[in-house]
Amino acid sequence: MNLCMDCGEDFGSVSAFDAHRVGKHSYGYSPQQPDGRRCLTQKEMKAKKFKVNQRGAWSTSTFTRV
């Protein structure tokens, strides 16, 4: 289990967790810093082919259920 303390989503692997965090590490997201570090939304993850696996965790693996 890889629970994100920012967005509350659970990820099936460290690589899936890492992939859902985007933006520059130097600062957090804000309206003044739109390229800052943030979590992808569920809609953005689905567009990037993330799936929810049998355990209810987001995964980037092709061996998941929709």
Q: What is the pLDDT of residue 62?
A: 57
CB count, 10 Å around CB of 11?
22
Structural domain contains residue 51: yes
CA distance 58 to 34: 24
Q: What is the pLDDT of residue 66?
A: 47
Residue-wise pLDDT for 12-29, tens only, equals 999 999 999 999 988 889
Q: What is the pLDDT of residue 46?
A: 95
pTM of the model: 0.82
Q: How many domains does the chain have?
A: 1
Structural domain contains residue 12: yes
Structural domain contains residue 46: yes
CA distance 3 to 52: 14
Q: What is the pLDDT of residue 50?
A: 96
Residue-wise pLDDT for 29-58, tens only, equals 999 999 999 999 999 999 999 999 999 999
Structural domain contains residue 20: yes
Residue listed under structure tokens 């570090």: 37
What domain range includes position 52? 2-27+36-59
Structural domain contains residue 44: yes
